[in-house]
Amino acid sequence: MAVKFISTIKENGLGDWYIELVDTVDGRKVACNNLKEYEDAIEKMGDDYGGDIEVEWRKDDNVTNAHMEEIRLEMSKYKQRYDDEAMKREGIIQ
């Protein structure tokens, strides 16, 4: 059974956002100031469970629409990159 991580988008009080990543098994919390930090943290924490994780997304009520749009745009770029890498591994594209 997958281990649950909770990823909460939050405002940092300085006009920017961050993602708080919480491991629900041991309570570890990591503040990630960008998606690269988030990617590294979730990979490292997920390794403790053989990568068998489930992520529940949340956002604080005060997160601005502009920040949500920025995060969505960045995440769509990451998804496209990972999809492209997977298709290359499968030999679907070069």
Domains of the chain plus CATH, in order, are 3-89 (3.30.420)
Residues 72 and 66: their CA atoms lie apart, in Å, by 10
Query: Do residues 64 and 12 touch, judged by C-beta distance below 8 A?
Result: no
Band the pLDDT of 92: cuts 50, 70, 90.
confident
Task: Provide the residue type at 58 as one letter.
Answer: R
Q: Tens digits of per-residue pLDDT, 45-77?
A: 999 999 899 999 999 999 999 999 999 999 998
d(CA 44, CA 41): 5
pTM across the whole model:
0.85
Based on the number of CB atoms within 10 Å of its own CB, is 1 exposed (0-12), middle (13-18) or buried (19 or more)? exposed
Q: Cα–Cα distance between 39 and 34 in angstroms, integer? A: 9
